[in-house]
Structure 1
Amino acid sequence: MLYTRHIRESVDFYVNNLGFTCIGYDEDWGWATVSRDDIEIMLALPVDSATFTMPKFTGSFYIRTDKVDTLWAELKEKAVICYPIEDFSYGMREFGVFDYNGYLLQFGMPIE
Structure 2
Amino acid sequence: MPARIVPMIHVSNVAATADWYASIGFEIRGTNRECEHGEIDWALLRLGESEIMLSAGGRTSSDPRREFDLYTHVDDVDALRSRLDGKAEIVEDLHDTFSGMREFIIRDCNGFWITFGQPISQ
TM-score if structure 2 supplies the norm length?
Answer: 0.77
- Counting only pairs closer than 5 Å after superposition, residues 32-51 of structure 1 correspond to structure 2 as 32-46=43-57
State the match for 1:94 in structure 2.
Answer: 103
Secondary structure of 2:22 counterpart: helix
Distance in 1 separating the partners of 2:98 and 2:66: 26
Q: CA deviation at 1:31?
A: 0.6
Letter in 1 for 2:26: F
Identity %: 32
SS of equivalent residue, structure 1 residue 15 = helix
1:107 aligns with 116
Give RMSD over aligned pairs.
1.9
Distance 1:78 1:90, change over 3 A: same
Show the counterpart of 1:49.
none
**Superposition misfits of 4+ residues, deviation over 6 angstroms:** none
Q: What are the ranges of 5 or more consecutive residues in structure 2 without an aligned counterpart?
A: 1-7, 35-39
CA distance in 2, matches of 1:101, 1:44: 13
In structure 2, what is the equivalent of residue 14 of structure 1? 21
Secondary structure of the corresponding residue to residue 72 of structure 2: strand
TM-score by length of 1: 0.83
Match of 1:25 in 2: 31
Name which of 3, 9, 14 aligns with 2:10. 3
The whole-number CA distance in structure 2 between the counterparts of 1:102 and 1:7 is 14
